[in-house]
């Protein structure tokens, strides 16, 4: 499992080889260039959404709606990878917070008072500084901790906590979703117009090479047929020579 996770984050052959493989697979898809380019467009757009774990399924669905190549859509989701996801996530979240008009009080919330009871029964109060909406690392950490705690609470008597998850939804996930739509559309359209002529040129060049090889094969076959000696020709000539009457001294005409 650890090996699979490591390969997902960093392929053994390196990202350059991985990109070359994806490019090779896209160029050799047996479909029209327009459908392949639309599939890539669908996959690139989905990679800008925060639906992690569902990118393949959503890309297939969007490709079906657009009548695009499904395999190209799946390969197009690799636009989002461990090298690009941090940039996509940060930009989309910040842009979404700007569009949603996140207030400064949410970006930098004031400290909150919390009271705890010690084992001896003594109550103590102290201030807790909740993570602001701009502190993505703290929000992710708190939400992940609450998620693990709530899973344990299902099987124990502990109470579920939703404060961190609620903040994660409002301050990270929702801005990520809203802020990723516009750059996702722009990146998808750009990739469509970039990949369409490349795929078209590759298919035309490949079709020309196949046609040239086919013509060469036909020429070789015709040359072999022309150089082939028909064994019946020699037999016919021999039969013609032996059928002619032979002269004999006894066949001289009488005087």
**pTM beyond cutoff 0.85:** no
pLDDT, position 3: 58
pLDDT tens, residue by residue, 63-118 = 999 999 999 999 999 998 888 998 999 899 889 988 888 654 455 555 555 565 66
> What percentage of the chain has pLDDT greater than the value 90?
29
Q: Percent of the chain at pLDDT above 70?
A: 65
Given this model, what pLDDT does residue 8 score?
47
Q: What is the mean pLDDT of residues 144-165?
A: 84
Which of these, 167, 166, 149, lies nearest to 158 by C-alpha position? 149
**What pLDDT is attached to residue 206?**
82
pLDDT at 163: 81
The mean pLDDT value of the chain amounts to 77
pLDDT (average), residues 14-34:
68
Q: Counting beta carbons within 10 angstroms of the beta carbon of residue 217, is it exposed (0 to 12), middle (13 to 18) or buried (19 or more)? A: exposed
- 171-192 pLDDT per residue, tens: 889 999 999 999 999 999 999 9
């Amino acid at each position: 499992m650890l090996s699979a996770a490591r390969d997902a984050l960093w392929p053994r052959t390196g990202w350059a080889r991985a990109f070359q493989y994806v490019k090779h697979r896209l160029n050799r898809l047996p479909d029209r260039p327009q459908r392949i380019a639309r599939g890539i467009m669908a996959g690139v757009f989905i990679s800008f959404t925060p639906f992690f774990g569902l990118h393949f399924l959503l890309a297939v669905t969007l490709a079906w709606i657009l009548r695009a190549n499904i395999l190209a859509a799946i390969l197009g989701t690799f636009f989002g990878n461990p090298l690009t996801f941090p940039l996509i996530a940060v930009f989309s979240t910040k842009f979404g917070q700007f569009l949603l008009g996140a207030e400064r009080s949410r970006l930098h919330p004031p400290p909150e008072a919390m009271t705890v009871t010690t084992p001896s029964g003594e109550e103590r109060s102290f201030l807790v500084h909740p993570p602001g909406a701009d502190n993505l690392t703290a929000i992710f950490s708190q939400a992940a901790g609450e998620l693990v705690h709530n899973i344990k609470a299902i099987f124990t008597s502990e109470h579920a906590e939703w404060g961190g998850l609620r903040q994660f939804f409002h301050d990270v996930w929702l801005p990520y979703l809203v802020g990723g739509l516009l750059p996702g559309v722009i990146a998808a359209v750009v990739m469509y117009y970039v990949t369409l002529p490349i795929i078209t040129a590759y298919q035309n060049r490949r079709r020309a090479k196949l046609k040239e090889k086919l013509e060469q094969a036909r020429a070789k076959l015709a040359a072999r047929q022309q150089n082939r000696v028909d064994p019946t020709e020699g037999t016919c000539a021999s039969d013609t020579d032996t059928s002619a009457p032979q002269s004999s001294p006894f066949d001289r005409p009488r005087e």
